[in-house]
Amino acid sequence: MTASIIDGKSFAEGLRGRIAGHVERLKSEHGITPGLAVVIVGHDPGSQVYVAQKAKQTVAVGMHSEKYELAETVSEAEVLALIEKLNADPAIHGILVQLPVPDHIDPQKIIQTIDPAKDVDCFTPASVGKLAIGLPGPVSCTPLGCLMLLRDQLGDLSGLHAVVVGRSNLVGKPIAQLLLRENCTVTIAHSRTRDLPSIVRQADIVVAAVGRPEMVKGDWIKPGATVIDVGINRIDAPERGEGKTRLLGDVAFAEAAEIAGAITPVPGGVGPMTIACLLANTVTTASLINGLVPPSDLTA
């Protein structure tokens, strides 16, 4: 048995097409152009590439895009002042500060200064609380992308046993909350879970988000299970030439693909969904800020 490959790249392309349609409708029917502001502090090369992609895709779906590149030496007070300015700007419906920030800036202070109504990354305490108790609003981009892929692959998730390997605020905890909403039975496991392989073998759905390359082995997977690999681990690849690297997920893909029913590859699985879901969240916040019901095909 060989698993079906869940093509996140193709799904994200379709999602961006739906987003563009909703943006056009907001413009034509309500005079609203969703606006996203991205703030980056310093010159981390990975962050630079990621922010450039976000800006490009924002414009491609017809949204208003603003990018603020601040020097590594910028003061915390200056960053906070910029966020307050964006909070008050009616043309901006989503604010994202690219993490990590330099050591002299407190990321929690940054996050808590963002207006929760414009929190498209869903890191503010208000956004986390809304997710926990089921209030409407955007949810974290990567977990939302995982959920969309699972729904597309499996349809109704009700009653399935999902094991989430990883307990981060970024992915592990919010995807567990989303799967509970879908009426899954959810187990949150992590690197210190006793007999982790036997826990994972019980799962109809495995979400691997632990940040360790190929930690989840093929023989941990229940035959026919659906595997969502959130891991993006860059490792040295001298066989490709000096200084070259390659990406590995948190799941030993070749082994798991022999046993799973469906699996996301790395790259090309969850990764492309993250920026697409950021755009979806901006449509959601633009709708809510203006008293409109967000499009149901863009939300959890």
- Going by pLDDT thresholds of 50, 70 and 90, the confidence category of residue 77 is very high
- Going by pLDDT thresholds of 50, 70 and 90, the confidence category of residue 234 is confident
Q: Mean pLDDT, to the nearest integer, of 195-212?
A: 97
Q: Where are the domains of the chain?
A: 31-117, 141-272
- Going by pLDDT thresholds of 50, 70 and 90, the confidence category of residue 243 is confident
- Going by pLDDT thresholds of 50, 70 and 90, the confidence category of residue 1 is low
Q: Mean pLDDT, to the nearest integer, of 104-109?
A: 95
pLDDT of residue 208: 98
- Separation of alpha carbons 265 and 267, rounded Å: 6
**Phi, psi (deg, nearest 5) at residue 161:** -90, 115
pLDDT of residue 55: 86
Q: Mean pLDDT, to the nearest integer, of 87-110?
A: 94
Residues 6+ apart with CB under 8 A from 88: none
Equal CATH topology for 31-117 and 141-272: yes
Is 241's pLDDT higher than 90?
no
CATH superfamily of 141-272: NAD(P)-binding Rossmann-like Domain (3.40.50.720)
Q: Mean pLDDT, to the nearest integer, of 209-231?
A: 97
Residue 162: half-sphere exposure toward Cβ, Cα within 13 Å: 28
Yes or no: domain 31-117 corresponds to CATH 3.40.50.150: no
Q: How confident is the model over 258-270, as pLDDT tens digits?
A: 999 999 999 999 9
Mean pLDDT, the chain, rounded, equals 94
- Separation of alpha carbons 198 and 104, rounded Å: 43
* Choice between 147 and 52, residue whose per-residue pLDDT is larger: 147
Q: Active-site residue numbers?
A: 54, 98, 121
Is 244's pLDDT higher than 90?
no
Is 71's pLDDT higher than 80?
yes
